[in-house]
């Protein structure tokens, strides 16, 4: 028997839900109970009796993950309770009477269930295995009696497996065999009675009675006499034997099918040996004197690698249904509260379009002379006027400050046919006390690292041109002058804001008095990224960073840049869009979590867009939400652990790990355990949803901003359709499993007239700085000649 596809019976977890599937978007179904027309019923759980059995047993034994019915169970009308509360939604468990056959359900891995979306956790599958063999698979095993029984049934050709097993048919099989044997003269002196000719005259209860150990023989005699068959002693023994053959076959068939499920469970769990519990109900199993024992023994022989506990369901499927309803109700309530908490993070298309338009307005403000001073998106001219043309060459130094790592690079650019860029770089740490110490200390440290690098490369004597990638907002008056507008990301060194960072670097070099350098350009990392991609693709006129922070630059027409003289050609504008919203214009989408992250940051009230979209903050937003959900009792059993209280503990890289598609929940739990968070599977699912909500919002927000930029480019060019390339960099963009895709989809959605190609930048802040320096050198030399 192949187990794997089945009907999805109920989206619920088991009572102790450690291994449950909480994807319990417990379906609101039209109650199939037309008779209750006047009652507004919220059918929480449509419970199959097997599922009820599993749930009831699962209540007593957490290991229970299979539910089995063999033979009839309680009638449902007795167990389905309905209480009416007027004007209120009803929650009822509604068991469906399926007849008195056989069936099984078990917990299947969500990733194997094609019919249901989602890969997480497990869901109970109602196999409806009674139909096994309806395609002919059992034809070799079916006897003439099985065929006869089937032909005389209400549903010929259907439920063939069930007809070989279940209590409804066992007595009938015995009757058909006895009839044939009698007709052949093997029993009752060949005398057939009317009763023996009558369908349904032998029932399961008779078979059970005849197979009893002690009274079996006298029972048999009594039963046969009642059927007017006048049995001899030998007749009775023979009839007992027939009963044993029929009921043993039933037990063995059932065991074989159960073995298939157990093997599948074991394989799903990739275990060599497995302990599990099967919740079991049904008259045949419970009342037949030998059935259970035969079943257990056969299972033991068929799947020796599984140690199976058979647990009789107490209280039948009614109690199971009640348990199911209780679990489902708890999960549904949890889900509602989770969705309420996360609802504020959802950005519907209308809001995104609004944000795109707001960003667009801010871009214009920053470019206009009158509004520029107050603009939050500063639109800083970079004095980079052209992209590389391939004639650049030489050796250059580059400094990269403003990212996670501080680096010094030597870049060798070759032009002509052997066009290439070679790079050597060294990473240096910037200790926190220097990041947040004085400006002099910071720049002395930078020059110290430079000296180490020159020493290391053996080029201390050469006075090389240097490009300084300085990824903070700088107001530039020329390509080699940059006044720091204000620190962002983790930096806070004193006496730097309002100062020219190139001067500070030159002075630090002078103080050290060991070597001299020609500082040619101060470069924003976005610009470096755009230039690096521009070196490969001339259509690249936008640079995007989604790393520690977020920012964008793009080539703007000079005539639109009011604060720079001249109307010819283009210049790259560093938008510094991370500050979008600092005037309050996006406060309506900020949540209490965003405000908490902002208040706990180094620069409260600043960089509001960045704080919703970039690597430095996403993990922190998740942590705030987790704390809130825990307070609401929805996570970690309501207990806020010490580690969850620690700021920065939830790094953005964990979002990437947790959101990886095929990542099984145990691995999510592993990540959480590394963070000192002891989580159940339900917790893991919630945490994963929180992460997805936060990163999706970030990507959508970023996409809305980028849509404003590409749309502006399109209007600048005055074209119906724009083809443009965006050079992109940053660890969030590169390593998060969904961020870049969602960002790209959002741009497509919000700027439908633009065909945007995204190009990953290879080390934009290093290579780009060298290229800008090279271009500036080339233009400078041309100017001098």
Residues acting as catalytic residues: 407, 471, 525
Structure tokens at 387: 């992209």
DSSP-derived 3-state class of residue 184: coil
Please pick, from the candidates 403, 543, 727, 766, the single residue that binds Mg ion as defined by CB under 5 A: 403
Name which of 247 and 529 has its Cβ closer to Mg ion. 529
Name which of 697 and 778 has its Cβ closer to ligand ADP. 697
CA distance 408 to 778: 22
58 binds Mg ion (CB under 5 A): no
Name which of 704 and 732 has its Cβ closer to ligand ADP. 732
Judged by CB under 5 A, which stretch of 84-92, 401-409, 416-424, 432-440 contacts Mg ion? 401-409
Q: Which does 404 bind (CB under 5 to 8 A by kind): Mg ion, ligand ADP, none?
A: ligand ADP
Q: Which does 732 bind (CB under 5 to 8 A by kind): Mg ion, ligand ADP, none?
A: ligand ADP
Q: Which does 96 bind (CB under 5 to 8 A by kind): Mg ion, ligand ADP, none?
A: none
The nearest distance, CB 619 to ligand ADP, in angstroms, is 6
Burial, 81: exposed, middle or buried (Cβ in 10 Å; 0-12, 13-18, 19+)?
A: exposed
**Beta bridge partner(s), residue 518:** 465
Name which of 208 and 548 has its Cβ closer to ligand ADP. 548
The nearest distance, CB 615 to Mg ion, in angstroms, is 10
CA distance 542 to 655: 27
Contacting residues for 76 by C-beta, under 8 A, at least 6 apart: 95, 96, 97, 317, 318
The nearest distance, CB 529 to Mg ion, in angstroms, is 8
Structure tokens at 433: 């006390």
Distances (CA, A) of 700 to 163, 453, 550, 554, 706: 56, 41, 13, 20, 10
Residue closest to ligand ADP, measured at CB: 547
The nearest distance, CB 742 to Mg ion, in angstroms, is 21
Question: How far, in whole angstroms, is CA 453 from its chain's centroid?
Answer: 44
Burial, 484: exposed, middle or buried (Cβ in 10 Å; 0-12, 13-18, 19+)?
A: buried
Name which of 262 and 671 has its Cβ closer to ligand ADP. 671
Name which of 130 and 547 has its Cβ closer to Mg ion. 547
CA distance 489 to 213: 82
In order, the DSSP letters of 48-109 are -HHHHHHHHHHHH-TTEEEEEEES----GGGT------TTS-EEEEEEPP--SSEEEEEEEE
Judged by CB under 5 A, which stretch of 23-31, 240-248, 399-407, 563-571 contacts Mg ion? 399-407
Contacting residues for 202 by C-beta, under 8 A, at least 6 apart: 171, 172, 174, 175, 178, 223, 227
CA distance 53 to 57: 6
Name which of 53 and 575 has its Cβ closer to Mg ion. 575
The nearest distance, CB 137 to ligand ADP, in angstroms, is 49
Q: Which does 731 bind (CB under 5 to 8 A by kind): ligand ADP, Mg ion, none?
A: ligand ADP
Question: How far, in whole angstroms, is CA 219 from its chain's centroid?
Answer: 61
Q: Which does 695 bind (CB under 5 to 8 A by kind): ligand ADP, Mg ion, none?
A: none
Name which of 50 and 469 has its Cβ closer to ligand ADP. 469
Q: Which does 652 bind (CB under 5 to 8 A by kind): ligand ADP, Mg ion, none?
A: ligand ADP
The nearest distance, CB 651 to ligand ADP, in angstroms, is 5
Laid out side by side, the sheet with 518-523 consists of 420-428, 406-414, 394-401, 465-470, 518-523
Judged by CB under 5 A, which stretch of 66-74, 136-144, 539-547, 740-748 contacts Mg ion? 539-547
Q: Which does 744 bind (CB under 5 to 8 A by kind): ligand ADP, Mg ion, none?
A: none
Q: Which does 52 bind (CB under 5 to 8 A by kind): Mg ion, ligand ADP, none?
A: none
- Contact, 747 vs 712, CB < 8 A? no
The nearest distance, CB 450 to ligand ADP, in angstroms, is 19
Nearest to 68 by CA among 285, 235, 351: 285
Half-sphere exposure of 129 (CA within 13 A, CB side): 29
CA distance 680 to 635: 9
465 binds Mg ion (CB under 5 A): no
If one counts every other C-beta atom within 10 angstroms of the C-beta of residue 672, the result is 23
Q: Which does 436 bind (CB under 5 to 8 A by kind): Mg ion, ligand ADP, none?
A: none
CA distance 770 to 456: 19
Q: Which does 23 bind (CB under 5 to 8 A by kind): Mg ion, ligand ADP, none?
A: none
Q: Which does 203 bind (CB under 5 to 8 A by kind): Mg ion, ligand ADP, none?
A: none
DSSP-derived 3-state class of residue 452: helix
- Contact, 620 vs 690, CB < 8 A? no
Residue closest to Mg ion, measured at CB: 403
Name which of 72 and 526 has its Cβ closer to ligand ADP. 526
Judged by CB under 5 A, which stretch of 249-257, 547-555, 698-706, 745-753 contacts Mg ion? 547-555
Structure tokens at 313: 């369901």
CA distance 175 to 243: 10
Handedness of CA 354, 359, 360, 361 (dihedral sign): positive
CA distance 407 to 525: 13
The nearest distance, CB 538 to ligand ADP, in angstroms, is 25
Q: How many of the chain's residues bind Mg ion (CB under 5 A)? A: 2
If one counts every other C-beta atom within 10 angstroms of the C-beta of residue 391, the result is 12
Q: Which does 282 bind (CB under 5 to 8 A by kind): Mg ion, ligand ADP, none?
A: none
- Contact, 552 vs 543, CB < 8 A? yes
CA distance 648 to 693: 19
Name which of 71 and 615 has its Cβ closer to ligand ADP. 615
The nearest distance, CB 435 to ligand ADP, in angstroms, is 12
The nearest distance, CB 548 to ligand ADP, in angstroms, is 3
The nearest distance, CB 449 to ligand ADP, in angstroms, is 16
Pattern 357-396, Mg ion, x by CB under 5 A: ----------------------------------------
The nearest distance, CB 296 to ligand ADP, in angstroms, is 50
Name which of 404 and 567 has its Cβ closer to ligand ADP. 404
Task: Give first-to-last CA distance, the chain, whole Å.
Answer: 86
Phi, psi of 727 (to 5 degrees): -85, 130
DSSP-derived 3-state class of residue 275: strand
Handedness of CA 619, 621, 627, 633 (dihedral sign): negative
Q: Which does 557 bind (CB under 5 to 8 A by kind): ligand ADP, Mg ion, none?
A: none
Q: Report the interface residues with ligand ADP, using CB under 6 A.
A: 403-404, 547-548, 615-616, 651-653, 656, 730-732, 735-736
DSSP-derived 3-state class of residue 425: strand
Name which of 503 and 651 has its Cβ closer to ligand ADP. 651
Name which of 18 and 404 has its Cβ closer to ligand ADP. 404
The nearest distance, CB 467 to ligand ADP, in angstroms, is 16
Judged by CB under 5 A, which stretch of 266-274, 405-413, 502-510, 543-551 contacts Mg ion? 543-551
Handedness of CA 483, 487, 490, 496 (dihedral sign): positive
Per CB under 5 A, residues contacting Mg ion are 403, 547
């Amino acid at each position: 028997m192949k187990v794997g596809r089945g009907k999805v019976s109920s989206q619920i977890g088991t009572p102790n839900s450690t291994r449950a599937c909480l994807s319990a978007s417990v379906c609101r179904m039209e109650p199939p109970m037309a008779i209750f027309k006047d009652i507004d019923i919220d059918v929480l759980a449509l419970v199959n009796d097997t599922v009820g059995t599993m749930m009831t047993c699962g209540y007593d034994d957490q290991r229970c993950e299979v539910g089995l019915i063999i033979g009839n169970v309680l009638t449902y009308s007795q167990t389905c309770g309905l209480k009416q509360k007027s004007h209120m939604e009803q929650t009822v468990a509604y068991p469906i009477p399926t007849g008195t056959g056989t069936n099984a359900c078990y917990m299947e891995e969500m990733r194997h269930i094609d019919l249901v979306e989602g890969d997480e956790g497990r869901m109970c599958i109602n196999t409806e295995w009674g139909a096994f063999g309806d395609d002919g698979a059992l034809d070799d095993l079916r006897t003439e009696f099985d065929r006869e029984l089937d032909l005389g049934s209400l549903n010929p050709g259907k439920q063939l497996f069930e007809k070989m097993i279940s209590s409804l048919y066992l007595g009938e099989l015995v009757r058909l065999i006895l009839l044939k044997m009698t007709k052949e003269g093997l029993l009752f002196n060949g005398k057939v009675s009317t009763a023996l000719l009558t369908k349904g005259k032998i029932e399961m209860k008779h078979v059970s009675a005849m197979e009893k150990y002690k009274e079996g023989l006298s029972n048999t005699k009594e039963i046969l006499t009642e059927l007017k068959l006048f049995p001899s002693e030998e007749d009775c023994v023979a009839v007992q034997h027939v009963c044993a053959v029929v009921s043993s076959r039933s037990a063995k068939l059932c065991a074989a099918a159960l073995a298939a499920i157990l093997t599948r469970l074991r394989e799903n769990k990739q275990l060599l040996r497995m302990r599990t519990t099967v919740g079991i109900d049904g008259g045949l199993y419970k009342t037949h004197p030998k059935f259970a024992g035969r079943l257990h023994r056969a299972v033991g022989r068929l799947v020796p690698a599984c140690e199976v506990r058979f647990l009789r369901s107490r209280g039948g499927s009614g109690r199971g249904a009640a348990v199911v309803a209780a679990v489902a109700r708890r999960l549904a309530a949890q889900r509602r509260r989770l969705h309420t908490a996360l609802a504020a993070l959802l950005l519907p298309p209308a809001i995104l379009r609004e944000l795109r338009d707001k960003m667009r307005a801010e871009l214009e403000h920053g470019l206009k002379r009158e509004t520029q001073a107050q603009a939050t998106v500063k639109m800083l001219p970079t004095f980079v006027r052209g992209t590389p043309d391939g004639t650049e060459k030489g050796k250059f130094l580059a400094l990269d400050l403003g990212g996670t790592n501080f680096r010094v690079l030597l870049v060798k650019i070759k032009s002509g046919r052997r066009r290439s860029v070679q790079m050597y770089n060294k990473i240096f740490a910037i200790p926190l006390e220097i990041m947040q110490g004085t400006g002099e200390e910071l720049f002395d440290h930078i020059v110290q690292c430079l000296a180490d690098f020159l020493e290391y490369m053996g080029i201390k004597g050469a006075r090389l041109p240097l490009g300084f990638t300085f990824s903070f907002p700088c107001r530039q008056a020329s390509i080699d002058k940059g006044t720091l507008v204000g620190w962002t990301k983790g930096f806070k060194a004193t006496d730097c804001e309002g100062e020219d960072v190139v001067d500070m670097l030159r002075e630090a070099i002078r103080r050290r008095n060991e070597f001299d350098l020609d500082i040619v350009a101060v470069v924003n990392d976005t610009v470096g990224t755009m230039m690096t991609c521009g070196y490969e693709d001339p259509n690249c006129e936008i640079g995007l960073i989604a790393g520690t922070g977020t920012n964008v630059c793009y080539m703007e027409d000079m005539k639109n840049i009011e604060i720079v003289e001249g109307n010819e050609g283009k210049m790259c504008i560093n938008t510094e869009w991370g500050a979008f919203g600092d005037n309050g214009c996006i406060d309506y989408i900020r949540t209490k979590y965003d405000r908490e992250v902002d208040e706990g940051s180094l620069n409260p009230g600043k960089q509001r867009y960045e704080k919703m979209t970039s690597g430095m903050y996403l993990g922190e937003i998740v942590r705030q939400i987790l704390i809130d959900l825990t307070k609401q009792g929805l996570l970690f059993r309501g207990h806020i652990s010490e580690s969850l209280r620690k700021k920065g503990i939830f790094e953005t890289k964990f979002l990437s790990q947790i959101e990886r598609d095929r990542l099984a929940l145990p691995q999510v739990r592993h990540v959480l355990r590394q963070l000192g968070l002891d989580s159940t599977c339900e917790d893991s699912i919630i945490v994963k949803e929180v992460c997805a909500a936060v990163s999706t919002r970030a990507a959508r927000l970023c996409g809305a901003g980028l849509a404003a930029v590409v749309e502006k480019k399109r209007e600048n060019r005055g074209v119906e359709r724009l083809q443009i390339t965006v050079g992109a960099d940053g660890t969030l963009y590169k390593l998060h499993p969904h961020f870049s895709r969602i960002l790209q989809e959002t741009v497509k959605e919000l700027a439908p007239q633009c065909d945007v190609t995204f190009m990953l930048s290879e080390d934009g802040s290093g290579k780009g700085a060298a290229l800008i320096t090279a271009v500036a050198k080339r233009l400078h030399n041309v100017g001098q000649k």
